[in-house]
Amino acid sequence: MLGGCGFRPVYAPANAGSPSAASGLSSIYVALIPERSGQMMRDALQRRMELGGGGAKLYNLAVSFYVATEGASIERADSIPTRTRAAGIATWSLTTADAEQRTVLTGRSRSLDGNNPLSLQYFYSDLQGEQMQARLVEAVADQITATIATWFVTHPPAA
């Protein structure tokens, strides 16, 4: 019913004459990203790129990712923050994998999250920090993938 109004899922398989974001995403190699948060980001992006199956890698995705944290609420006399705010920030570029290595798309993606570390036991507080970082990675990876998938719908990959 939605097809009648022009709606088409961005990850749907390609039809004759219709570009496929899934096949475009599967043609991307995700370059190594340093640090633990970078490893998590690369893994999240690779999972998303592989949804369309395997194939020749026609593009390289280079990502710079980091998590910045800051104390957001100080309610104690000892000036220790009781709320931590974190931002996951990625700057990325998609280039062709040929000798020319032409940049076809660039972007910056960002997500925010937070937690209350002092109201928890130490080990649980550490676990909450790791979970917060994982949520940031997933949200930023979703943004990057959606932007690239949209680009592939309007710029189908070369055959």
How far apart CA 103 and CA 10 sit, in angstroms, is: 22
Per-residue pLDDT reduced to its tens digit, 21-43 = 888 898 999 999 999 999 999 99
CATH number given to 20-153: 3.30.160.150
Closest to 109 (Cα-Cα) out of 93, 88, 94, 138: 88
Q: Where exactly are the structural domains of the chain?
A: 20-153
Strands of 7-142, DSSP E: 28-30, 59-73, 83-96, 103-115
pLDDT digits 0-9 by tens, 40-76? 999 999 999 987 677 789 999 999 999 998 876 666 6
Query: What is the pTM assigned to this prediction?
Result: 0.80
Backbone angles phi, psi at 9, to 5 degrees: -60, 135
